């Protein structure tokens, strides 16, 4: 049974998410090529005079869409290896358009106040392993976002088909919210990734408590997508 212990009592299978993505970067890149439709729809609403941040950019597949549309964009991720992979593959054709890539942590963003007009956080927030980190991350997002700026946040929902598989179904049905989900490497080695399983209202309340206004909130392909405005 794969069950997540409290943050102060991490199981031996737990690793910081930076180390997880450093290990799976190349494998992740081979399996995550298509951008999310909900993200491209958000990008389509952005004027080219805006500065955008792809926060937790992963292999850069969404950063590339920003850049191809002529939007100044910075990609940031906590994993150094996945940034190297992004520059080598997804971003290789648009490197000259990229404002920069930065290796940093979401709870201490290396940007000045009100730097960005648009921010995307795709499949990032559910990797934060404590309520304090979630609150701090949102405070940082609000700090670096301009007035009337918008952020798109997505995370997995408990209804995601991955949680119906035998290795996780039992603890999900029991109401467990802190879980370790295996990523299977090409050699069949399993690397555990931490997830916090949000309820829709729970994530909305966190965003509202960060003094953001929710513009839209919808479920799409067992993910929750929220657009919020400062």
pLDDT, tens digit, 9 for 90 and up, residues 63-83: 999 999 999 999 999 999 999
pLDDT exceeds 90 at position 208: yes
Cα–Cα distances in Å, from 229 out to 24, 119, 159? 33, 10, 27
Average pLDDT of the chain to the nearest whole number: 92
Tokens of 193: 């990734």
| CA 153 – CA 210 distance, rounded (Å) | 13
- Report DSSP letters for 127-181, one per residue: G--SHHHHHHHHHHHHHHEEEEEEEEEEEEBTT-GGGGSHHHHHHHHTT--EEEE
Measured over the CA atoms of residue 19, residue 20, residue 24 and residue 28, the dihedral's sign is negative
| CA 188 – CA 207 distance, rounded (Å) | 38
Query: 103 - beta bridge partners?
Result: 77
pLDDT of 81-138, one tens digit each? 999 999 999 999 999 999 999 999 999 999 999 999 999 999 999 999 999 999 999 9
> Cα dihedral angle (24, 29, 30, 35), rounded to 10 degrees?
140
The answer to whether the beta carbons of residues 97 and 67 sit under 8 Å apart is: yes
| pLDDT-above-70 percentage for the chain | 95
Cα–Cα distances in Å, from 101 out to 57, 58, 84, 149? 9, 11, 9, 21
pLDDT of the residue at 80: 98
- Identify the weakest region by mean pLDDT among 92-96, 104-108, 173-177, 193-197: 173-177
Structural domains of the chain ordered from first start: 14-160+197-229 (3.40.50.150)
* Pair type for strands 178-184 and 100-103: unpaired
The answer to whether the beta carbons of residues 67 and 73 sit under 8 Å apart is: yes
């Amino acid at each position: 049974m794969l069950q997540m212990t409290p943050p102060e009592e991490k199981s031996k299978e737990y690793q910081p998410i930076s180390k997880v993505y450093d290990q799976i970067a190349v494998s992740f890149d081979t399996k995550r090529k298509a951008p999310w439709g909900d993200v491209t729809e958000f990008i389509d609403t952005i004027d080219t005079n805006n500065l955008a941040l792809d926060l937790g950019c992963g292999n850069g597949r969404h950063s590339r869409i920003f850049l191809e549309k002529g939007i100044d964009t910075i990609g940031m991720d906590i994993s150094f290896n996945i940034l190297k992979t992004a520059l080598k593959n997804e971003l290789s054709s648009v490197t000259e358009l990229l404002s920069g890539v930065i290796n940093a942590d979401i709870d201490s963003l290396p940007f000045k106040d009100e730097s960005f007009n648009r921010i995307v956080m795709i499949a990032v927030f559910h990797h934060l392993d404590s309520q304090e980190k979630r609150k701090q991350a949102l405070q940082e997002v609000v700090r670096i976002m301009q007035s009337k700026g918008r952020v798109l946040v997505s995370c997995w929902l408990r209804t995601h088909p991955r949680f119906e598989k035998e290795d996780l179904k039992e603890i999900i049905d029991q109401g467990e919210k802190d879980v370790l989900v295996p990523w299977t490497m090409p050699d069949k080695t399993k690397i555990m990734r931490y997830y916090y399983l949000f309820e829709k209202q729970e994530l909305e309340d966190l965003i509202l408590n960060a003094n953001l206004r929710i513009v839209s909130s919808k479920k799409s392909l067992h993910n929750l997508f929220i657009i919020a405005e400062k």
